[in-house]
Chain A
C-alpha cells in the first residue's frame, strides 16, 4: 500500500469517527421533517374561514390562511400579512403597510386588494358570515396611492379594539374563493393536502411561506371527540399533541417520561352571575356577601388543580390591561356574614344555581353550594345541556349561574357586551352603571394603549364592587405532547401555532 493510499484511508477513518461523534453528541437541535398528529376535539365544520366560529375549526384555518395581524404568545399584536400599521389621532383612520413577499399556495402574489375583497365578502349579507357584525364599524377601505400606506381603512367611529377584530379576518383572494368548498388555499404556513370528513385533515409545509418554512413536513388533525380516547391515543403514540387535558389525567401524564405537559394562562374568566332582576340579588349587600363567601383558591385547588388561577376581577393575567396590584374580594366569612345581616334577607334564603353539563362544573357547584350554606343561602343546583343553558342565560331565566367568557385578550371583547347597559341580551346579570358605561365607551374610542389600560382597570374595580358577577377563576390552556415534539407552546387563545413567526417553530425528532 502506498503512503498516499494509506493516508487517504486514515483521513476517511478520521472523518467517519468525527461524524459519528457529532451524531452522538448531546441533544439534537431543531431540524426539518416529521409528521405531527394533533388530536382535535371535533372535525372542522367547514373550511370556509369566514364561516368559522368554533375553536377546533379556527385552529385548522389558522394553518391554511393568514391574517393581517396575529397575537404572539404574550398577547402582543405582531404583524403577519401587515408589516406595520398606524392609527390617526382621532382613532378612525387605520393605515397598514403590507408585506410584499407573500404568495398564495397557488403561487399568485398577495396585495391590498385581496384584503378589501375579503372584507367585502364578509360584509356581504348573502354570505351570512358570523363576522359580519364585527366588521360593521368599517366605513371605507381603499388601496393607498403612491406615497401612501398600502391599505387605508376608515372606521365610522374611533375604535381602539379594531386590531382585535382583524385577528379572525382570514385573507382570501378573489381568484381562490371558488375553491373554498373543495380545496381551500390561502397564504398560511401549511397547505391542505387532504380532508377526509371525521377522519383526518392532512396539511404539508408551504415552502414559499413568507416566514421561515415550518420545520414540520406534515401536520395532521385527527378529530377524536371522547377525551379519554384522546388521552389513550397520546399515550400509545396515535397522536402527538392534544389540549384540554382533563384534570384527573394531568398528574399521571406529567409523571410520564414520554409525555410533556405545557400550559398557558388563558384569555378568559369564569364567573358566577347573579340575576339582579330577581330578589334578593337586587340587593348589593346580598351580592357582596356572596362575593366574600366564595373561597376561590379552594375552588381552584379542589376542582381545577394546575389548570386554572383564582381571579381577582375580569382581566386575566394574559391581558395587557391586567393589573398586578389589584386584588378582588378575598375569602372572608366574617365580612360575608356582616353583609348578610345588613341585607334584605338577614335570615338567609334559597336559590337555584344554574350550570351547564360537565364534570368540573358539577363538582364546582357542589363546592359553591357548601360555601354559600355557611352564610345561610340554600343552593339548589340545576344542570342544563349547553344549548338549553345558553337559552336560559339569554332569556335571563335563572337566579345564579356559572359561565365562562372566552375571547382574545382585548379587554373590549372581554368586557363590553357583558357589562355595558346598552348590551341587553348579553349583559345577563343586568349590571347598569353609568360609570361603567362611560368608561367602556371612552376606552373603546381611545387608541392609546396606556390610556385604555387605565380605563379598563377602573371598569374592573367598579364591576367587582357592584358584584353582579362574582369573578371566580381564569382557566389555563393545558396541552400534552409526546416528548419527540419540541418547542410547542399552547397559545393564550387556545390556537395552535407551529410556524416560527410568533415564537420558536415547533419541530419533531425524526428517527
Chain B
C-alpha cells in the first residue's frame, strides 16, 4: 500500500511539471502587457512599461524565464502577484477554504442526489420515475453552469426571496462548530443558505452524470446470475438491491465522481464569479484578465494538484469496494 502511494506520488510529479509548463507558455503567448493593463492606458508611459518589464524579467527569453520559475517552484515559491503585491501562496491559502467548501458541498450533493436517482431509475426502468430521472440528469448535464447559476438567482433570490443571491455566509465548519460551542444554530443556517444556490448550480452536471452511471451500472449488475441467485434464495428485494447490486454497480461511479470532484474545482471558477464566492476561481479569472502570471500559474497548479490527489484517492477506494483489486 505504501509503495503504491509512493509510486502515485512520483507519477504526479511529471503531471505537475507539465501543467506548470503548459500554463506558463499559454499565459505568455496571449498578447497583453501586465504592466500596461495594471497601469491603465491613461497613465501609461512607454519608458515606464519597458522598465517594469525588465524588472519583472519579462524581457528575457521564455526558456530562461521558465527555468527561473521552476527553480523557485521547487523551493515552494509561487511568486508575487503583480496586482495584489502579495505572495501568491498567501492569496491562494486565503481563498482555498471557500473553494473547497463549495466543491465539497456540491460533491456531497451530487452523490446524494445522483446515486438514489440512478437506483430508482434502474429499478423502475421504463416507468415514469425513470423518465423523470433521465430528464433531470440529461438537463443537469447539458445546461451551462453559469446560465443555471443566473437562473437560480433570478428565481430563488429575486422572485421568491428564499436564498441570498451571492457571497459566503461564513465558513461552514465554523458555523457547525458554533452549535457545540454555544453559538446556536443561526450561523449554520446562514452559512447553508448562502451555499444552496451555488452548490446546486455546481452539482447539476455531476448529478446528471452520476445518475446515468449508476443507472447503467445497476442495470448491468441486476442482470447478473448472482443477483438471480440472491433472489432465488428468497432475500428481500431491498437487500438484493442495496447490499448486493449497488455495491458492485458503484465501481464505475466512484471513478467518474472522483474525476468530477476535480472538475468541480474547474466549474467553481465560473460560478464563483456569478455568486461572488470568495474562492480561488475569482482570483484566477481576474488574474487571466490582468495577465497576473504568477497567480495564473499558482491557481492552475493548485487545481492540478487537487486532480492528482483525488485520482490517487479513487484508486485506493477501488480496493475497498472490490476485494478482487489489491495493490502490492
Residues of A at the B interface (CB closer than 8 Å) are 42, 45-46, 48, 51, 53-54, 128, 130, 132-134, 196-199, 222-226, 228-229, 232-233, 235-236, 238, 385-388, 390-394, 403, 405-407, 413, 417, 424-426
Contact = CB atoms under 8 A, between A and B. Distances in A.
Given A130-B48, A233-B166, A403-B41, 9 more contacts: A196-B278, A197-B94, A236-B158, A238-B167, A386-B32, A387-B32, A390-B33, A390-B37, A426-B44
Contacts of A48: 85
B39 A53 contact: yes
A27 B49 CA distance: 55
B259 interface: no
Nearest to B40: A53
7 contacts: A46-B86, A51-B85, A226-B166, A229-B274, A235-B158, A385-B289, A424-B46
Given A223-B276, A228-B153, A232-B154, A128 B55 contact: yes
A133 B49 CA distance: 11
A393 B46 CA distance: 13
Contacts of A128: 52, 55
A46 B32 contact: no
B298 to A, nearest CB: 15
Contacts of A385: 30, 32, 289
B165 A236 contact: yes
B282 interface: yes
B41 A405 contact: yes
Contacts of B98: 198
B212 interface: no
Most buried by B among A48, A54, A196, A226: A226
Contact of A133 (B45, B154, B283): B45
Contacts of B38: 53, 130
Contact of A222 (B45, B167, B289): B167
B276 A45 contact: no
Interface residues of B, number: 51
B196 to A, nearest CB: 15
Contact of A232 (B31, B94, B158): B158
B255 interface: no
A198 B158 contact: no
A388 B286 CA distance: 15
Contacts of A45: 83-85
B95 A232 contact: no
Interface of B: 30-33, 36-46, 48-49, 52, 55, 83-86, 91, 94-95, 98, 150, 153-154, 157-158, 161, 164-168, 273-276, 278-279, 282-283, 285-286, 289-291
Contacts of B168: 199
Nearest to A397: B31
B41 A393 contact: yes
B36 A133 contact: no
A238 B84 CA distance: 27
A417 B279 CA distance: 39
B42 A405 contact: yes
Contacts of B33: 387, 390-391, 394
Contacts of B274: 226, 229
Contact of A390 (B36, B43, B46, B153): B36
Given A226-B273, A228-B153, A390-B36, A426 B86 contact: no
A429 to B, nearest CB: 14
Given A222-B167, A228-B153, A413 B278 contact: no
Contacts of A133: 43, 45, 48
Given A51-B85, A238-B167, A388-B31, A425 B44 contact: yes
Contacts of A390: 32-33, 36-37, 41
Nearest to A197: B94
Given A199-B278, A229-B274, A407-B42, A42 B286 contact: yes
Most buried by B among A48, A224, A386, A387: A387
Nearest to B170: A199
B84 A46 contact: yes
Nearest first, the 6 A-B pairs at minimum CB distance are A387-B32, A198-B278, A425-B46, A224-B276, A391-B31, A232-B165
Contacts of A51: 85
Contacts of B43: 53, 130, 133-134
Given A130-B38, A228-B153, A406-B42, A387 B167 contact: no
A238 B166 contact: yes
Contacts of B150: 226, 228-229
A46 B41 contact: no
A229 B197 CA distance: 12
A54 B285 CA distance: 16
Nearest to A395: B31
